[in-house]
Amino acid sequence: MTATTTRLDAPAASAPTQLTMAGALNAALRDAMAADDRVVVYGEDVGPLGGVFRVTDGLQAQFGEDRIWDSPLAESGIIGTAVGMAMYGMRPVVEMQFDAFSYPAFEQMVSHVAKMRNRTKGRMTLPMVVRIPCAGAIGGVEHHSDSSEAYWTSTPGLTVVMPSNPADAYSMLREAIDSNDPVVFMEPKSRYWSKAALALPVITAPMDRAVVVREGTDVTLLAYGPTVRTALEAADAAEAEGLSIEVVDLRSLSPFDDETVGASVRKTSRAAVIHEAAQFGGYGAEVAARVTERNFHHLAAPVMRITGFDIPYPSPKLEEHYLPTPDRVLAALDTWEWDD
Amino acid sequence: MSLNVEHHSVRALPSEKPIRLLDNAGHAVRSAASGGFELPDLDTLLELYRRMVVARRFDVQVTALTKQGRLATYPSAYGQEACEIGAISAIEARDWFFPTYRDSIALLTRGIEPADILLSFRGDWHNGYDQYAHRCASQTTPLATQALHAVGLAHAARLRQDPIVTMTYLGDGATSEGDAHEAFNFAAVWQTPTVFLVQNNQFAISVPLARQTHAATLADKAVGYGMPGYHVDGNDVAAIYAVTRAAVDRARSGGGPTLIEGLTYRIEAHTNSDDPTRYRQARDVEHWKRRDPIERLEKYLVSEGALSEAARTEIADAAEAVAAHTRDVMTTEADLDPLELFDHVYERPRASLLEQRARLEAELADAATQAGHRNHAGAAR
Ligand SMILES: Cc1ncc(C[n+]2csc(CCOP(=O)(O)OP(=O)(O)O)c2C)c(N)n1
Ligand SMILES: [Mg+2]
């Protein structure tokens, strides 16, 4: 798993405690707010309630309403005012309640958050973080399980990351808040309750790097967020059948870590990318194209996409048929010719 | 300290007739139509006159340069000088301004160099001036989006206890955008020190106000958000200045935001590529030309003996000098470096961008070599 060390700027690390991903994110926000009073947090229900996923639990009690508050319920307003606050030197960390509810903010994100540095030749930068609980597999009714990553990754100027485990959640959120560029920080909902023993503050690989989370020799599975676990489970199952799968947790969707991914693919000569989002025009299309362009002569088979179907995200009782499962991953790998 | 204050929202409707301190004949209005606002003193009015004259001369010059092909586009504010200059003159250097594409003349008044204002309309880069030096955000094109930035910056300043005010301009059409509503609402709920000036020039490109709103006035909208709203004669710079000044003072002393509507008219086309004969009558334009904001103030100043012939000449000369300077700077071509395209996307260069930059660099080198060969061949012949 991801190597963990202690943050350089931190006092002695605490003894390891069991933390969920939501708890790790909460700790990251708490530590970032304590370290830097320019960090402010706002959004919908982030105050007394602590967020619908409890990521901001207890923060208002600790830091007061001038540091973390419930804003009016309007996503464009949240992002647009965060732009203004960042212009003035604050480091706003704002929450979109769910992927699908970030869409009202699309214009602010694409036309301002992404472009301000470029427009002003770097004179005006926007050190802000947009936290977006993302993806599905939580039994959510319509609009609660979208995967919006490709909307953001196809926008130059945005940095888009997605942790898959509590250690990365803490470390990457701290790094995102410290970044002078805007970061879209996507939090896979289905992983909020995953647990790990962490000695905080924990520092993992840099936010813009992919990490090999399981070594193998026959196939590279490229996964991120919720599908990292899927890939690991598939790898465990395949091992019994004598297939050695390497799993790369992409972590950073934009930028893309061509180096780490390329090294793995050249080793295994086969790659598949797994995501929950629909396939057509999805993030996997970019991954497949660039992995192929850069590693064609090392590939024994076309890069495969194992994704959700090209349909709107289904209702809770049908989502199990939509989501890429370890079985579906292994079945997909079987469709390659394996005569070498 | 918490900034959450108990406040009482405003419920008074704005006046139905626009607030006016000078009528179209240049006479001071002493009736209830003044809305209780005082006519600014003669020194202030003379300075506003100077600024409007300079601004108009600049605007006319830039429109001419655009017709000559020197600029890619220019949205003129001819006829809107009272709004453009009156409101910007009510804020201080420490305050922040959030303009739209329409508001180049307000930027000129703010002290920004013509070349820096016009760099984006010439097409050199998206923005040409230093936002922090002038405390002025880039001119914003996506309608009403800048209003939220003004609210956010004001809120940040308030959290820091910096006594600054933010001002933003919007068009009448822009008030239909969701971001306008969100900005009004956030500003009112957070009680930010923000002044919204809606320049109601009665058209959004071709679409008249009646297709944007069913409200009696755009200022009425303020009531629903719980902030004061003022419906003002937008061709009366005295009224625009007085009302915005009061709003700025109230904002600075913790009284929250204000929505001000200036009723005005755009005399020129929306931009140089627009054809206004398709959607408005020449006689309407003539009607509004007779309500010229500069002539109105001039009549008043002359009647008060505050504008001598010498002063008038001196102001006209100053305006000519700005126009001449603008011509000079806009008739030289900027030296653009295509490789700079990659420099300002992220703080830390990305490997994939560096690869693309290298490709463009090679292309440019190739093109230069080929041009060299052609020149060489040409010289040999
Ligand atoms: C969000 C958005 N939609 C459409 C446009 C295209 N557009 C540019 S100016 C304009 C009219 C705006 O009218 P108004 O707000 O009244 O301002 P004015 O141009 O009259 O100053 C339109 C539709 C835009 N810039 N932004
Ligand atoms: Mg208009």
Residues B324 and B364 in one domain: no
| B156 Cβ contact partners less than 8 Å away, ≥ 6 residues apart | A84, A85, A87, A88, A89, A90
Ligand 1 contacts CB of residue B349 (under 6 A): no
Ligand in closest contact with the CA of B169: 1
Residues B284 and B372 in one domain: no
Residue B317 lies in a domain: yes
pLDDT for B158 equals 97
Per-residue model confidence as pLDDT tens digits over A297-326: 999 999 999 999 999 999 999 999 999 999
Euclidean distance between CA atoms A226 and A21, whole angstroms: 12
Residues B228 and B278 in one domain: yes
Residues B271 and B207 in one domain: yes
**Is B137's Cβ below 8 Å from some Cβ in A?**
yes
Q: How high does pLDDT run on average in chain A?
A: 95
Per-residue model confidence as pLDDT tens digits over A119-136: 999 999 999 999 999 999
pLDDT for B381 equals 55
Cβ separation B156–A119 shorter than 8 A: no
Residues B172 and B317 in one domain: yes
* Distance in Å, alpha carbon of A63 to nearest chain B alpha carbon: 11
Ligand 1 atom closest to the Cα of residue B177 is: 1
- Which residue type, as a one-letter code, is found at position B174? A
Cβ separation B138–A156 shorter than 8 A: no
What average pLDDT does the segment A195-212 reach? 97
Per-residue model confidence as pLDDT tens digits over A223-279: 999 999 999 999 999 999 999 999 999 999 999 999 999 999 999 999 999 999 999
Tell me the three state secondary structure of residue B343.
coil
Residue B8 lies in a domain: no
How many Å is the Cα radius of gyration of chain A?
A: 20
Residue B23 lies in a domain: no
Residues B227 and B88 in one domain: yes
Domain carrying residue B374: 338-380
The three state secondary structure string of chain A is CCCCEECCCCCCCCCCEEEEHHHHHHHHHHHHHHHCCCEEEEECCCCCCCCCCCCCCCHHHHHCCCCEEECCCCHHHHHHHHHHHHHCCCEEEEECCCHHHHHHHHHHHHHHHCCHHHHCCCCCCCCCEEEEEECCCCCCCCCCCCCCHHHHHCCCCCEEECCCCHHHHHHHHHHHHHCCCCEEEEEEHHHCCCEEEECCCEECCCCCCCEEEECCCCEEEEECCCHHHHHHHHHHHHHHCCCCEEEEECCEEECCCHHHHHHHHHHHCCEEEEEEEECCCCHHHHHHHHHHHHHHHHCCCCCEEEEECCCCCCCHHHHHHHCCCHHHHHHHHHCCCCCC
pLDDT for A286 equals 98
Residue B17 lies in a domain: no
Residue B3 lies in a domain: no
Which of B330, B348, B363 marks a domain boundary?
B330
pLDDT for B1 equals 38
Residue B140 sits in a domain whose CATH number is 3.40.50.970
pLDDT for B376 equals 75
Residues B228 and B364 in one domain: no
* Distance in Å, alpha carbon of A80 to nearest chain B alpha carbon: 5
Ligand in closest contact with the CA of A106: 1
Residues B144 and B234 in one domain: yes
pLDDT for B9 equals 66
For chain B, how many structural domains are there in total? 2
User: Of A173, A162, A228, A161, which is closest to residue A200 (Cα–Cα)?
Assistant: A173
Give the mutation candidate from B5, B135, B161, B344 for the A interface (greatest A CB count, under 10 A): B344
Residue B15 lies in a domain: no
Which among A111, A118, A121 is the nearest to B142, CB-wise?
Answer: A111
Pocket residue to mutate for ligand 1, from B101, B102, B143, most atoms within 8 A of Cβ? B143
Range with the lowest mean pLDDT among A10-24, A51-65, B33-47, B299-313? A10-24
Euclidean distance between CA atoms A212 and B122, whole angstroms: 49
CB A275 within 8 A of CB A332: no
Between residues B31 and A181, which one has the greater pLDDT? A181
Residue B195 lies in a domain: yes
Residue B348 lies in a domain: yes
Residues B115 and B98 in one domain: yes
| ipTM beyond cut 0.90 | yes
Asked if pLDDT for residue A220 goes beyond 90, the answer is yes
Q: What is the pTM of this model?
A: 0.95
CA of A191 to the centre of ligand 1 (A): 43
Return per-residue pLDDT of chain B as tens, 381 residues: 345 445 556 678 888 899 999 999 999 998 889 999 999 999 999 999 999 999 999 999 999 999 999 999 999 999 999 999 999 999 999 999 999 999 999 999 999 999 999 999 999 999 999 999 999 999 999 999 999 999 999 999 999 999 999 999 999 999 999 999 999 999 999 999 999 999 999 999 999 999 999 999 999 999 999 999 999 999 999 999 999 999 999 999 999 999 999 999 999 999 988 999 999 999 999 999 999 999 999 999 999 999 999 999 999 999 999 999 999 999 888 899 999 999 999 999 899 999 999 999 999 999 999 998 887 776 655
User: Of B293, B253, B301, B246, which is closest to residue B35 (Cα–Cα)?
Assistant: B246
* Distance in Å, alpha carbon of A178 to nearest chain B alpha carbon: 12
**Is B227's Cβ below 8 Å from some Cβ in A?**
no
Residues B316 and B368 in one domain: no
pLDDT for A5 equals 47
Residues B350 and B293 in one domain: no
Residues B223 and B370 in one domain: no
pLDDT for B373 equals 85
Domains of chain A: 15-203 (3.40.50.970), 211-334 (3.40.50.920)
Pocket residue to mutate for ligand 1, from B170, B199, B205, B274, most atoms within 8 A of Cβ? B205
pLDDT for A13 equals 66
